[in-house]
Amino acid sequence: ASFLLLCFRTSLVASLILGLLLQPPLTQLSIVTQPNIVLLMADDLGIGDVGCYGNDSIRTPNIDGLAKEGVKLTQHIAAAPLCTPSRAAFLTGRYPLRSGMDAINNYRVIFWNGGSGGLPPNETTFAKILQQQGYSTGLIGKWHQGVNCESRNDHCHHPLNHGFDYFYGMPFTLISDCLPTETPEMDRAFRRKLWLSTQMIGLVTLTAALGRLTGLILVRWKMVTCLVGLSLLFFISWFSSYGFVRYWNCIMMRNHEVTEQPMVTDRTTSLILRESISFIERNKHKPFLLFVSFLHSHTPLLTTEKFLGRSSHGLYGDNVEEMDWMVGQVLDAIDKEGLKNTTLVYFASDHGGWLERQEGRRQLGGWNGKYRGGKAMGGWEGGIRVPGIFRWPGVLPAGTVIDEPTSLMDIYPTVVHLAGGVLPQDRVIDGRDLMPLLRGTVEHSEHEFLFHYCGIHLHAVRWHQKDSGAIWKAHYVTPVFHPLGAGACYDTGVCPCFGEGVTHHDPPLLFDLSRDPSEAKPLSADTEPHFDPVIRKIGRAIEEHRRTLTPVPEQLSLYNIVWKPWLQPCCGTFPFCWCDREGDN
């Protein structure tokens, strides 16, 4: 009996030892638990503006530190070259035209808080899935995905209707109109036409009135009265919106409540930082998702006095360096709460830098390094290749650089899987889970093809030929730069997607980005033996991709983007919308 007991104990100990030996390492265990997730997104930041991506004159030590401690992606691609569609794709893991969030016209972003377009309520964001998995979810900063659908308080497009438990920030986007001292930015050319039309109608009315008084023109007073009424009606119809942009669009909200109308820009940066840190402190005892959507580095480049004049790149450089400091403050808050090893941190920009944004000799937009093109250009790399950095100590190998095609849409399946959620099965998800690639368990990205849209127009396609290492990119449409060879559309300020401002290519322009990342030397059938097979392969991929598209309501249609007074968020009794509840506090 004693011998049997001894054998039993020996086998039990051996089993325990074997179990411990076979147990996965600590890094594997931490995958099973739900990590905190902090997503940091810059606005209009160029890939060439960051130190770890080659900039040696703008100081970004905190962003560079993330790259040293984590994984840097060198071919991280936005799904669109402008704010609204790019962020819609980021939130849903789907090309923006699948949700109707890409434009059929020249109005390619949400234009008013009082518009009816926005991220459809039937779209499932990663925040909504993480919320269902028990996460506390917060969005601090820029939204730009719409607010209301049919009434001022239905909040159908609002962050709280898309899975966020807490929201503090701008439902719109920062624009120069938010500063009374700056030149108006929003729809500048159209506003000039409206002013001109108003003056012409006023001139006709005044001429008719003077002619009637002097008897030089035979016109009835009834006609003069109608002209006066028409002039006033026309003026009021457009000035009621464009004349008060600062009050209608430049507002701050906490959840559903408007807290500043118009926003007090002097304290915006400090409030966004305070809210970000406060969210971490409030939710440190349970898994949380924090999306910090910076207003930096979008014009008018709100920069506190502490950072003015610090960089060698003027106001834009000052603004980027301040954003880097804010990144550092958020990371310090994570460290202070002892959450560094249980938190996945991600940093990116929503699209490339705005090359055309200038005031006189001042460059107010970003730099895209060696990559051609910039913001609003759907095909060229400079408009869509952005910084992409992940840090998760003990799980992701530090100091790793990955040169594989990845997308902002990949964040969706990545964080959903980390939270233990399940991807929606009733729709196409274009993103791919990045964890195997980030951890080094696979060599290549799951993306074989990426489609580059400008509005609803397909401008280019990327094919990652994994067996050869080639990254082919075919351009079917490119913008016409002005002046010729300038590299941007300086005449209009933003390159168009269609019409006379673009060139169609048949056969398409073909580049191998693995050899020519600057897209400087297009290949041809004479210079590239694989030209015809590559173009045929990409053509078949486009056909397959288009078969997955289904018609959806256009969220950026002219009707949806126009300002509607009955949808305007207002902290008073409309139209008397003015408040400063932060100042009152």
**What are the pLDDT digits (tens) for 251-266?**
999 999 999 999 999 9
Q: Is the confidence at residue 23, as pLDDT, over 60?
A: no
Residue 539 lies in a domain: no
Asked if 230 and 170 sit in the same domain, the reply is no
The share of the chain scoring above pLDDT 70, in percent, equals 94
State the pLDDT at residue 175.
96
Task: Give the residue among 264, 272, 269 at the shortest CA–CA distance from 246.
Answer: 264
Average pLDDT over every residue of 36-43: 98
Q: Is 98 within a domain?
A: yes
User: Are 313 and 378 in the same domain?
Assistant: yes
Over pLDDT 90: what percentage of the chain?
84
Catalytic-residue membership of 83:
yes
Residues 68 and 165 in one domain: yes
Burial 303-316 (b: 16+ CB within 10 A, else e): beeebeeebebebb
* Together in a domain, 110 and 212: no
Query: How many other C-beta atoms can be found within 10 angstroms of the C-beta atom of residue 370?
Result: 14
- Report, as an integer, the average pLDDT of 262-289: 97
pLDDT at 29 over 60: no
Question: What's the pLDDT at 347?
Answer: 99
Per the CB < 8 A criterion, the answer to whether 60 and 307 are in contact is no
**Total domain count for the chain?**
2
pLDDT digits (tens, 9 = 90+) for 366-408: 999 999 999 999 999 999 999 999 999 999 999 999 999 999 9
pLDDT band at 192 (very low <50, low <70, confident <90, very high): confident
Q: Residues 474-479: what's their mean pLDDT? A: 98
**5 lies in a domain?**
no
CATH of the domain at 344: 3.40.720.10
Does residue 452 sit within a domain?
Answer: no
Poorest-confidence range of 53-57, 176-180, 215-219? 215-219
296 pLDDT higher than 60? yes
Mean pLDDT of 220-241: 88
The catalytically annotated residue of 76, 144, 459, 464 is 144
**Among candidates 298, 178, 179, which has minimal Cα distance to 249?**
178
Q: Which pLDDT does position 219 carry in this prediction?
A: 81
Tell me if 21 is assigned to some domain.
no
The pTM assigned to this predicted structure is 0.92
* Same-domain pairing of 61 and 85: yes
Burial 103-131 (b: 16+ CB within 10 A, else e): bbeebbbbbbbbbbbbbbeebbbbbbbbb
Average pLDDT over residues 426-452: 98
What is the Rg, in whole angstroms, of the alpha carbon atoms belonging to the chain?
27
Q: Quick one: 224 and 364 in the same domain? A: no
559, 558, 564: which is closest to 240 by C-alpha?
A: 564
Catalytic residue among 83, 454, 489, 497: 83
CA distances for 50 relative to 53, 56, 306, 316, 511, angstroms: 5, 8, 20, 12, 26
pLDDT at 571 over 80: yes
Query: Over the stretch 317-371, which tens digit does the pLDDT of each residue have?
Result: 999 999 999 999 999 999 999 999 999 999 999 999 999 999 888 899 999 999 9
Residues 342, 401 within the same domain: yes
Write the Ramachandran bin of 499: left for phi over 0, alpha for psi from -120 to 50, otherwise beta: left
Residue 495 maps to a domain = no
Question: Do 86 and 204 fall into the same domain?
Answer: no
Q: What is the pLDDT of residues 92-101, one digit of tens each?
A: 999 999 999 9
What integer pLDDT is reported at residue 127 of this predicted model? 98
**Within-domain flag for 181:** no
Q: What is the DSSP track for 205-227?
A: HHHHHHHHHHTSS---HHHHHHH
The predicted structure's pLDDT at residue 568: 98
Query: Of 19-28, 144-153, 162-171, which range is least confident?
Result: 19-28
User: Among 342, 578, 368, 380, which residue's Cα sits nearest to residue 477?
Assistant: 380
| Same-domain check for residues 92 and 218 | no
Our CA angle for 31, 36, 38, nearest 5°, is 120
Residue-level pLDDT at 585: 59
Residues 231 and 347 in one domain: no
Cα–Cα separations (whole angstroms), residue 529 to 391, 471, 524, 570 = 41, 15, 8, 62
Query: Rounded mean pLDDT of the chain?
Result: 93
Strand 385-391 vs strand 343-349: parallel, antiparallel, or unpaired?
antiparallel
Residues contacting residue 482 through CB under 8 Å, at least 6 positions apart: 489, 490, 491, 492
Residue 109 lies in a domain: yes
pLDDT of residue 386: 98
- pLDDT band at residue 184 under the 50/70/90 scheme: confident
For 504, the enclosing helix (H) or strand (E) is strand 502-512
pLDDT score, position 7: 43
Residue 441 has pLDDT above 90, yes or no: yes
CA 135 to each of CA 21, 52, 234, 273: distance values in angstroms, whole numbers, following the listed order:
33, 32, 50, 21
Question: Sorting pLDDT into bands at 50, 70 and 90, what band is 208?
Answer: confident
Amino acid found at 573: T
Same domain? For 193 and 156 the reply is: no
Average of pLDDT values for 511-537? 97
* DSSP string covering 10-78: HHHHHHHHHHHHHSPPHHHHHHHS--EEEEEEESS--GGGSGGGT-SSS--HHHHHHHHHSEEEEEEE-
Q: What would the mean pLDDT of 503-512 be, rounded to a whole number?
A: 98
Do residues 155 and 195 both lie within one domain?
Answer: no
Across the range 107-119, mean pLDDT stands at 97
Residue span of the structural domain in which 103 resides: 36-174+264-447+554-561
